[in-house]
Amino acid sequence: MQAVKNDKKIKVGIGFATGRKSFQKVLKTYVYNWKEYGLTENEDVSLNLLVAYDLKYSNAKPIHFTGIHKDLLNLIDEAHFIGRGALRKEIAALVEQNVLSQKEADLFFGSGYAAKRNAILYKAVKSGIDYLVFLDDDEYPFAVTNTHKSAVWGGQAVLTTHLDYIRRADITNGYHCGYISPIPYIRFNKILTESDFRVFIEAISNDVLNWDSLRAVMNNGGVTYADPSVLVNRTVEEVPEINRAKFITGANLCLNLTRPERVFPFYNPPGARGEDTFLSTCLSDRKVLRVPCYAFHDGFSTYQHLMDGVLPNKLKRIEADSEPVVSRFYAACLGWVRYKPLFVYITQRDQYDQIMRETQEKLSRTLPKICAYFQNNSFMKISSELNSYRKNVEKHYAQFLEMQRIWAKLRAYLKEPPARRCFKVSPLAAASPECYPEKKSVHRIERTGAVR
C-alpha cells in the first residue's frame, strides 16, 4: 500500500456479516495477513473490526464471534460486535428520538444478510469510518492458479489493494477463485442430459450466473482458478454496466464512505439472497473498479485447512453424491429463484411478464428431471417459490425503494453533531483491546453490544 500523508489518520472498517462458528479462524488468518503487509503497524491507518453475527445460522453462541484472542485484538484499533441485543437497543433509541418509525427500523435492521450488512454500514458511518471493506467468513486471502495441471497458491494483499484504489472510486471489488458456484459437478446421463440442465440454469439464471460461464467452471471440476494475467499485470478496470447493473460481489468489496450520500444500502427480498446484485442496480452513475486481488471461496467448507498452511497441489471435484452438497445446491437454487422476479422487474420491466412466463415454462420442463437426478423431490418447490415471489414483486420493489429512503434519514441523523443526539448509552460501542476481559465479556457483549 502506498504511504498516505494526511493530517488525519485513515479509518478503515472491516465488516463481517457472519453466522459460522469457524469465524474466529478466518479472522485470525486475515489479521495476520494485515500484519504481513504492514497494516497493523501503519500509523496512518486505523483498523476497525465490525462483526454483525447471527446465532441461529449454525446454532452458535456469542463467544464464537466475540471471544477474540487478545493477541489479535492488540493488532487492531477497535472491535465492534453487533448482536440482536445491541440492535434492539439501537432501534429503540432511533424510534424514541423519532429518527425512524418502528416499521422502518425493522425493515432496515431486520433479518437476513442485507440487514446484517446494513447494521455494519450504519455503525461504520456512525463511527467515522472512511473506507469499509466487506469480507466473507468462507473466503480466505489466497489465489490459486492451475499451472501445468497443478494448483499453485499465492497470498493476497486484499485490504491493501482496496486501499490503494478506493480513494479514486465509489466502490472497489476484487476477484474470487475456488468454489465460487454452489453447483456441483454433474455427470450427465439419460435422466438429466446436458441440454436439460442448461435449460434449468437458464431458468434460474441472471446476467452473472449463466450457462456459458457455468459450463467452463464445470469443466474444471467446479473450480474457478485465478487468472495469472490479473496477478502479474495488476490490471485495474472499471466494471461495465450490463443490463442496468454494474455487477459486484458482496465480499472482497470496499465502499468509499467519505461521501455517505453516494452510498446505497443493501436489500434482498425476505428469504432470498442477492443483496449484492440489487446494490449493483443502483450504481449507474457511480465509479466501480475491479481491482487485482483474489479471495479463495471455500463454498463447500472443505478447505479450511488452508488457514493452517496446508496447500494441496490439486483441488477436488465437488460431486453431487452427498446430502450436504445437494442441500447446498438446493438452497442456492431457492435463493436465486426468489430474487429473480425483482431483479428482472428492476432491470427489464418492459419484458418482465414474458421472462417470467418463459422461466416458469422452463422449470416445468426440467424440475421433474432435476428431482429424479438428485433423488430429492424438494426441488419441485422452486416452481411455487417463483410464483410466490412473482406475486409479491411490487411489494418487494416498494421495500427496495423504501430502504433507500430510510438510509437517507439515517444519513441525515448521523450527519448531526454528536452533542445533538440523545444517547443514554451507545449500544454499538467499541471493544477496547487494552481492557478486553476474556472470560466475563460474553454476556455483556450480547446485552449491550460492547465491552467496557
Give 8's pLDDT tier (boundaries 50, 70, 90): low
Digit-coded pLDDT (tens) for 258-299: 999 999 999 999 989 899 999 999 999 999 999 999 999 998
Confidence of residue 183 (pLDDT cuts 50, 70, 90): confident
Q: What residues does each domain of the chain span?
A: 10-182+223-317+403-448
pLDDT at 431 over 50: no
Summarised one tens digit per residue, pLDDT across range 41-55 is 999 999 999 999 999
At 436, is the pLDDT very low, low, confident or very high (cuts 50, 70, 90)? very low
CA 394 to chain CA mean position, Å: 25
- Name the residue with higher pLDDT: 319 or 408: 408
Taking 50 as the threshold, does the pLDDT of residue 448 lie above it?
no
For the chain, what is the mean pLDDT? Answer: 88
The whole-model pTM stands at 0.90
Assign domain 10-182+223-317+403-448 to a CATH class.
alpha beta
In this predicted structure, the answer to whether residue 14 has a pLDDT above a threshold of 60 is yes
Band of pLDDT at residue 209, cut at 50, 70 and 90: low
